Amino acid sequence: MTPPFTELAANLDDIAQQGLYRSRRVIASPQGINLEIDGKTVVNFCSNDYLGLTNHPDVVKAFKFGADHYGVGSGSAHLICGHSAAHHALEEELAAFTGRERALLFSTGYMANIGVISALLGRGDSVFEDRLNHASLLDGGLLSGARFKRYAHADMADLEANLDKASGNKLIVTDGVFSMDGDFAPLNELAVAAKKHDAWLMVDDAHGLGVIGERGGGILEHYGLGQNDVPVLMGTLGKGLGTFGAFVAGSELLIETLIQKARTYIYTTALPAAVAEATRASLKIVIEENWRRDKLKQLSERFSVGAEQIGLQVMPSSSAIQPILIGDSQTAVDISNALLDAGLLVSAIRPPTVPQGSARLRVTFSALHEEQHVDRLLDALAKIIVSRK
């Protein structure tokens, strides 16, 4: 090997030494509670398909209808000739669902976050981000060129001290439900602080939408906050809604600004219209089927109570994300591998996705799990932990 490549090889060795090497598992089955990996069936505890909609017959049927009607590709960007009646109808339904004037589809949540923050802020402005925000929000803040300030997790005093010193337009950005911890952002306090300092507040509700709130309206429904409190709402479609893509919802003025200025909206191909049709079908189920949210809550509570009983360090979470704090990265990987041997798929989440020394097992539940799945996971965890002592 010659120089730049010898360095790459050394970097990979280094990553492996620290127990941080990442690799993929090849899934041969549909998404769901049971996955087939290497010819073996395992129970899935790491999907974000919280409501069990990725392979729902109505959603699949709508997708097929969409492909039959519109074709597979959307042909171009939304602003050229890729914006179909299906996209348009979905945007209107998402606006109604979130109680906002308008919604705008993006191809992924990552792109939505980068596009929105860069459209609203530039040099001379300031962005404030919770330390535990999703990578796409952090990247969006950095790319915007605004002054970039991270505040301690959910720490209002730290945020306010920074807001006091800020200049230019100000944007506070937070996950609604924190993706690797499962806790909720203090949105009432954040909304008050934003108003007091004439700042915008942006909430990324990737893990709340469809899952939290009586009607599945997400973290903002949970707190009872409207468009005036949280002017910028981002939601993803690939998690609770079970399909793919993302949207931003807010005022007419916000959405028109994004259409003119968000580069990740303008310069990319529209997501397939069939995905929009599938999402319209899943949104209907989200709204109508409360049992999915109720079941999810029961399963999560059963797990958190059971995990505490066997002495695991469960992180405080009232969502479907129930992480168990392990600390050391290699230990987290070893436990995850032992669970896989027992037929249970639980992912080990390591730095830099989470802070140094806070590697964890990120257990997630789906409305399609049964109590016996939860009990089987608890039994396996108890055995593995005992055998390691």
| Region from 104-112, 147-155, 187-195, 320-328 binding ligand PLP, contact rule CB under 6 A | 104-112
**Is residue 163 near ligand PLP by the rule CB under 6 A?**
no
Tokens 């976050």, residue located: 113
What does the angle CA 352 – CA 358 – CA 362 come to, to the nearest 5 degrees? Answer: 85
Residue (107 or 336) nearer to ligand PLP, CB: 107
Calculate helix-pair angle for 187-196, 156-164, nearest 10 degrees. Answer: 10
What number of helices (H) and strands (E) belong to the chain?
Answer: 14, 13
| Region from 105-113, 117-125, 286-294, 379-387 binding ligand PLP, contact rule CB under 6 A | 105-113
**Is residue 246 near ligand PLP by the rule CB under 6 A?**
yes
What does the angle CA 209 – CA 211 – CA 28 come to, to the nearest 5 degrees? Answer: 95
Closest contact distance (angstroms) between CB of 109 and ligand PLP is 2
| Coil, strand or helix at 43 | strand
Closest contact distance (angstroms) between CB of 274 and ligand PLP is 17
Residues with catalytic annotation? 179, 207, 239
CA 166 from centroid of its chain's CA atoms: 29
**Is residue 236 near ligand PLP by the rule CB under 6 A?**
yes
From the list 108, 174, 304, 347, which residue makes contact with ligand PLP (rule: CB under 6 A)? 108
d(CA 169, CA 146) in angstroms, rounded, equals 9
| Region from 1-9, 74-82, 106-114, 120-128 binding ligand PLP, contact rule CB under 6 A | 106-114
Q: Which residues of 264-285 are buried (b: 16+ CB within 10 A; e: fewer)?
A: bbbebebbbbbbbbbbbbbbeb
**Is residue 134 near ligand PLP by the rule CB under 6 A?**
yes
Tokens 């597979």, residue located: 72
**Is residue 279 near ligand PLP by the rule CB under 6 A?**
no
Closest contact distance (angstroms) between CB of 386 and ligand PLP is 33
| Region from 9-17, 23-31, 189-197, 204-212 binding ligand PLP, contact rule CB under 6 A | 204-212
Number of residues that bind ligand PLP (CB under 6 A): 14
Helix (H) or strand (E) holding 329: helix 329-341
From the list 213, 238, 240, 323, which residue makes contact with ligand PLP (rule: CB under 6 A)? 238
Report which residue type is found at 75.
Answer: G
Binding site for ligand PLP (CB under 6 A): 108-110, 113, 134, 136, 175, 179, 204, 206-207, 236, 238, 246
